[in-house]
Chains A and B, each alone.
Chain A
Amino acid sequence: MSAPVSPGLRSGSLPLLVALMTLLAGLSLAGLAGVQTLAESWSGAARNATTIEIPSDTPQFADRTHTLVQTLNKTPDVTAVRELSIKEVQTLLAPWLGQVSDSAGLPGLSLPAVLIVAHTGTPDLGTIVHDVLPEAVVEEDRRWGERLNGLGSSLIACAWLAVSLIAAIAVLSVGMTVRRSVMAQRKSVEIVHFLGAGDLTISSRIAGRAALLSLAGGLVGLLLLSPVITMLAQKLTPFSHGAPPTASSSNTWDVLIATWWSTLHVLPRMLLEELGALPLIAACLGWLTAQTVVLVWLRRLP
């Protein structure tokens, strides 16, 4: 242990405080990652799909629908054309028409044909469809994708706001804790000041201790966060692309770690890096806050 030239920080509550803040920040970041993943998934799906509705009263309904399907299948960038079955159309319209058990539809009401066209790029499907079947209604899902994107962006902004608020509360809490500690050791701090200790000598010792306690708190917070993160990873598995890594060892411990890691593998790499950095960020915030609080406090002394 280094020789003391200034009082240190006395605060048993700081690590607990930082642990809770780390937990909250981690949850917000995880929520943010989840929202981002979902938003990307939704907008990706919506961006590459178009819905075409052919009214049932269209002359030569069946033949012209068939012609349209063939035309679309030949169109470059169109990857798939699927006509919904009567049951699927009924399910689609159920919120407006109610459940119908008859496969032919409601009496006196014939159902339209609905085509779902999957494509890459942005082919001008509206023109192609209307050339063949002017009565058809083309619903570009891209617009929904844009709305979903907007919703996703709002949620992401909210999540970032939450993270920023947590950081601000953490800074305030650490600041108040450090100030309380300095006030409790006021006499000792004054003694070393009047013996010729520099402001930075005093503040650095307190800030160093604050950084260590914050780091410890951050690590505890991360530990508390790990079950939540594992659960989130399991929830996000359906949205994951690519195979997770598998264990190559027969050792039980290795297999357990590999299984856990394969679960985490579905999480965005950025999230894992951000979570890993949380204790370090906590330590930096603790150090900076303590330095500032002590230096400001010392300015009162001549």
Chain B
Amino acid sequence: MIRLLNVSMMPPGVGQPVLRNLTLSVPQGEFRWLLGPSGAGKSSLLRLLTLETRPSAGQMDLLGVSVSHASRATLRNLRRRIGFVPQDYRLIGEWTVFDNVALPLRLRGASERDTRREAFAVLEWLDVAHLADKRPGTLSGGEQQRTAIARALIGRPELLLADEPTNALEDAQARRLLATFQELIEMGTTVIVATHNEALVREAPAASIILQDGTIANTDSQNGISTRRVERS
């Protein structure tokens, strides 16, 4: 469950807020597209939801935790329940693909045997198991993106956030990823995907959060959540 109430975000040194009075809620186990033009605040909202920053005003509840007043230890545990596919992949260059993907499970204290089994399962599913011993710097953009997706999916997070997760993928891989998101939703994971890819949105119509100039743009929303469905072309 995600609940934002009048949330604003003003990064230090910036004169005006990049998010203004956002109010929205997303029930557990639902999917949302996060749409809007460049500079609308999609990445800022994802930064809030991945706990990279705290709101400068308003109330934010994530997976049943009030983020605004949470301790560092609470935030740390909350982060372990969130999977994130960043647009720039954010892989650790000195580590192998396997170590990058295994990190979330290791942080949760999983045994090395389970970590290995799960990491290879997800790497095989994304067709990058043969790259397990490679360093991210030697991989193509698509391979790095699939590694980042594998790291986000491992351990079945309760909240999955993705920022343009298909921009380096081929169409078939993108469709397969959407199918995976669907499976996760059925298992109770909340999924929010930010994208500019209109074709992808048309292929999988779903409720959307549309941002414009740091606020919710659409007027036909309920509680700030867009109920607009993108029709299949």
Contacts and interface: CB of A to CB of B under 8 A. Distances in A.
B79 A196 contact: yes
Interface size class of B (residues with CB under 8 A): 20 to 34
B77 interface: yes
A302 B112 contact: no
B95 A196 contact: no
Nearest to B77: A196
Contacts of B95: 4
Interface in A184-211: 187-188, 191-192, 194-199, 201
Interface stretch (B30-38, B45-53, B162-170, B200-208): B45-53
B76 A192 contact: no
A197 B107 contact: yes
Interface string A1-42: 001110100000000000000000000000000000000000
A3 B112 contact: yes
Given A3-B106, A5-B107, A196-B107, A302 B92 contact: no
Given A194-B79, A195-B79, A196-B80, A302 B53 contact: yes
Nearest to A201: B107
Nearest to A189: B92
Nearest to B82: A196
A124 B52 CA distance: 82
B41 interface: no
Nearest to A10: B94
Main secondary structure of the interface of A (DSSP, over half): loop
B20 interface: no
B92 A7 contact: yes
26 contacts: A3-B102, A3-B106, A3-B112, A3-B115, A4-B99, A5-B107, A188-B92, A188-B94, A191-B90, A192-B107, A194-B51, A194-B79, A195-B80, A195-B104, A196-B76, A196-B77, A196-B78, A196-B79, A196-B108, A197-B107, A199-B72, A199-B76, A201-B107, A302-B53, A302-B54, A302-B75
Contacts, number: 54
A196 to B, nearest CB: 4
A191 B80 contact: no
Contacts of A188: 92-94
A201 to B, nearest CB: 7
B103 interface: yes
Interface size class of A (residues with CB under 8 A): 10 to 19
Contacts of B91: 191
A194 B52 contact: yes
Contacts of A192: 92, 103, 107
Contacts of A7: 92, 94
A192 B75 CA distance: 13
A57 B44 CA distance: 104
Closest 8 CB pairs of A and B: A196-B80, A196-B79, A188-B92, A5-B106, A196-B107, A191-B90, A302-B54, A4-B99
Contacts of A5: 103, 106-107
Interface string A146-159: 00000000000000
Contacts of B104: 195-196
Nearest to B151: A195
Contacts of B99: 3-4
Question: Which of A4, A188, A195, A199 has most B Cβ within 10 Å?
Answer: A195
A191 B108 CA distance: 15
B106 A194 contact: no
Interface string B133-160: 0000000000000000001000000000
A197 B51 CA distance: 13
Contact of A195 (B54, B72, B93, B107): B107
